[in-house]
Amino acid sequence: MSDRNDATTSRFGTDAEAWLDAHSVPRVPITGDAVVLPDDGHGPDVRLKEAARLAAASPPADRDDPSVGQAPLSDAVAEAVAFIRKSTARHPQSRGRLADKLTARGHEPVVVDLALDRARRERLVDDQALLAALVAEWRGMGRGPRRVRSDLRARGFAQHQIDEAAPIITGSDDDVDPQTLALDVAKRGARRYRRRDEHDAVRLLTDWVAYRGHDLDIAHQAAREAIADDAEERRLVGR
């Protein structure tokens, strides 16, 4: 078999030389360093032309889609979405809080983003609706703008989301001004300090209102008015 191959090679070489001479084609030496296929480190040496042929035969990859050809990534995204679905079953959560939870569970950033995008499409995550509902609830409880902002940050909302929600947080989009809201809170707490003298009652009630997120000067004014109104009410009823 070896003798046959040598004969074929010799004949081919002779024919090629004759053809080049007949067509006055100059000889150009062919060079190329051998390279090793990088699959397992033990593949056969091939010439550069063969390496190029192998590369050209490989199917093109879509580099813009991180999930192409990566089954583990798809599995990880599905697992993350399943966690989001379970985590939000009882109460809605912000995208930021869910991202923190997924990261703590060891998911890569690309998996977290893809999973949250899918969850948003499935209406499992809706930051705008959740933020508006929380602000309405907290304002109804008498919390001031400062406290509401702090609580929103604790719930995982981004600062730009909180800034965009300023009208509903401060009440500038309705008829309730911060002073009226603070006074309503102060009136709820005024009874706590009936056994204190007026000075101590105003000081303690101011701190109590300010703790609920109202500016200190507004809280102080509301506390003074609430303590005075409570004292007047008790005087009228003979207490």
pLDDT digits (tens, 9 = 90+) for 195-235: 888 999 999 999 988 888 888 888 899 999 999 888 888 77
Under the banding of pLDDT at 50, 70 and 90, the label for residue 10 is very low
Predicted local confidence at residue 134, as pLDDT: 94
Q: Domain residue spans in the chain?
A: 71-125, 128-170, 178-236
Q: Of residues 112 and 34, which shows the higher confidence score?
A: 112
188 bridge partner residues: none
pLDDT level of residue 53 (50, 70, 90 thresholds): low
What pLDDT is stored for residue 158 in this prediction?
94
What dihedral angle (degrees, nearest 10) is formed by the CA atoms of 142, 143, 144, 148? -150
What's the pLDDT score for residue 25? 59
Residue 174 pLDDT: 55
Q: Is the pLDDT of residue 84 over 70?
A: yes
In this prediction, residue 27 carries a pLDDT of 59
Q: Which fold has domain 71-125?
A: Arc Repressor Mutant, subunit A (1.10.10)
pLDDT in tens, 25-50: 565 555 544 444 444 444 444 444 55
Instruction: Determine the average pLDDT of the residues in 119-137.
Output: 94
Q: pLDDT per residue over 136-192, tens digit each?
A: 899 888 888 888 999 999 999 999 999 999 888 887 655 567 788 888 888 888 888
